[in-house]
Amino acid sequence: MISTYDFGMIGLGVMGRNFLLNVADHGFSAAGLDLDAEKANALDEESAGRPVRGTTNTAEFVAMLRRPRKIMLLVPAGRAVDSVIESLLPLLDKGDLIIDGGNSYFEDTNRRQEYLKMKGVQFLGVGVSGGAEGARRGPSIMPGGHVGAYQLVGPILEAVSAKVNGVPCVAHLGNGAAGHYVKMVHNGIEYGLMQLIAEAYDILQTIGGLSNPELHEVFRRWNAGALESFLIEITADIFAKRDDKGDGWLVDKILDKAKQKGTGKWTSQNAMDLGIGIPTIDAAVTLRGLSALKIERKQAAPHYARAVEETPRVDKEQIVAQVGEALHFAFIITYAQGMHLLAEASEEYSYGLNLETVAKIWRGGCIIRASLLEDMRQAYQEQPALRNLLLAPAFHDALLHGQHAARAILKTAIDFGVPTLALSSALAYFDAYRSERLPLNLVQAQRDYFGSHTYERVDQEGVFHTEW
């Protein structure tokens, strides 16, 4: 066996195969390994005529690769990653590189990095976003780890990534688990935006009375404006899809229980650990949990029927305009929460993140790509130490203006009993962040009252306790 292949992939599901075909499109030879012969064969069939080969034999796979070997894993996060690493280790040489391209938990990435360092094997934790289509045509790639390891594989990742104005949507993001951390927060933002869109849909349908074709038109129009983004674009498509198993529209036939694989929850959990508020992402995670309680919701529904029927319908055009502006406002707030978390985490974990770079590589290829990200990139370029996008002059007018639409539509939604946890959390976050004085002086007083936890004063230095 001649060791000539430039790049190896373990895990030949649709994502892995597509990623390899993309690698081959850019002139690199690539080997794929999957223990499932059907998947290895599928790679051979799909790549016919190109320097790509699939195998089910780990030793053969490793022997095919040019040294230092570059082996990417696209296998389910968790134990599978550890077991693949164990199966590789006896076959690898010092200096070979393993790239974990799955949605691994960042603490696992830290652990694997330490472990592989002891074994003399290089390791990168890399977030890959864009789904199967992105893997094939150009994903956004978020690599973290030692910069020397990145340089080994950088040219391949840069070639296969999405491009925005010719700029690759990949860059070495930082040390350690920086790549998987950034991907985790990407997914947290993804959860937030998806929940906001779902709430907008609920308001437009339940209160505005919009039909699916009308919703399609509204989202299509929004995608041509300030809300331009992948998620708005696919939402427009979804409303136009007819049910191929019966009458009507497919979206109406889909069970309203949203599943989750954990990345959104991890974002909320870690933000709590760091003491950073990301309430819109938290709300999205919470709603996935509530959505799963279908049986209980069905039991509760007749006891607390919505007052929708009794309330007069509102003006359609006005409601569409308000929801659009409120959504734009809440999108900015959701990105602001995620970016704020990244800024804090970068300090806490010494990632050395550059938020301009993060915004830059999210402009294309990934699920949260949006025209807003170019504005964010510019904001961080102008102020690299920016703590929160709410403090960026570029977003000032949009937020100042957008809050009115958010307030108006939320009042309507509350009157109609339409749940808007994410949208209201975005407005409440804005209201809290821009409040010089919050009522938490009272919380401090209570803590001191019942637990002698002490408090600081606004007019004197020091720490105080009162016998209440």
Active-site residues, by number, are 183, 190
- Interface pick for ligand 6PG out of 190, 233, 282, 325 (rule CB under 6 A): 190
CA 173, 175, 177: angle at the middle one, nearest 5? 90
Query: Is residue 187 near ligand 6PG by the rule CB under 6 A?
Result: yes
User: Which element (helix H / strand E) includes 163?
Assistant: strand 163-164
Interface segment toward ligand 6PG; rule CB under 6 A; list 125-133, 300-308, 439-447, 459-467 = 125-133
CB under 6 A: which stretch of 32-40, 124-132, 235-243, 433-441 binds ligand 6PG? 124-132
* Touching ligand 6PG, residues 361-390 (CB under 6 A): 366-367
Q: Give the angle 36-42-43 at the CA atoms, nearest 5°.
A: 100
Nearer to ligand 6PG, 156 or 169 (CB): 169
DSSP run (H or E) holding 374: helix 372-382
CB closer to ligand 6PG, 263 vs 268: 263
Q: Are 239 and 231 in contact (CB under 8 A)?
A: no
Q: How far is CA 43 from CA 39, 61, 98, 144, 418, in A?
A: 6, 14, 21, 28, 47
Report in angstroms how near the CB of residue 208 gets to ligand 6PG at its nearest. Answer: 27
- Closest distance to ligand 6PG from the beta carbon of 239 (Å): 20
Among 87, 206, 260, 286, binds ligand 6PG (CB under 6 A): 260
Question: How many alpha carbons lie under 13 Å from residue 37 in its C-beta half-sphere?
Answer: 0
Strand order in the sheet with 122-129: 52-55, 30-33, 7-10, 70-73, 97-100, 122-129, 140-145
State yes or no: residue 103 binds ligand 6PG (CB under 6 A): yes
Residue among 15 and 326 whose Cβ is closer to ligand 6PG: 15
Pairing of strands 122-129, 97-100: parallel
Is residue 261 close enough to count as binding ligand 6PG by CB under 6 A?
Answer: yes
Could you tell me the smallest distance in angstroms from the CB atom of residue 50 to ligand 6PG?
Answer: 25
261-284 in b/e form (b: 16+ CB < 10 A) is eebbbbbbebbeeeebbbbbbbbb
Query: Among 13, 131, 277, 417, which residue interacts with ligand 6PG (rule: CB under 6 A)?
Result: 131
Q: What's the CA gap between 244 and 170, in Å, rounded? A: 38
The rounded distance, in Å, linking the Cα atoms of 339 and 359 is: 9
* 197 binding ligand 6PG? (CB under 6 A): no
198 binds ligand 6PG (CB under 6 A): no
Q: CA–CA separation, 273 vs 268, rounded Å?
A: 9
Nearer to ligand 6PG, 41 or 291 (CB): 291
Asked if 229 interacts with ligand 6PG (CB under 6 A), we say no
CB of 101 to ligand 6PG, least distance (A): 10
CB of 238 to ligand 6PG, least distance (A): 15
Cβ(105)–Cβ(185) below 8 Å? no
Is residue 263 a contact residue for ligand 6PG (CB under 6 A)?
yes
Name the segment binding ligand 6PG (CB under 6 A); options: 92-100, 104-112, 236-244, 256-264.
Answer: 256-264
Rounded to an integer, what distance in angstroms lies between the CA atom of residue 449 and that of residue 456?
14
> Does residue 130 interact with ligand 6PG by CB under 6 A?
yes
| CA–CA gap between residue 303 and residue 307 (Å, rounded) | 12
Q: Taking CB under 6 A as the rule, does residue 268 contact ligand 6PG? A: no
Chain residues in the site for ligand 6PG (CB under 6 A): 103, 129-131, 187, 190, 259-261, 263-264, 366-367
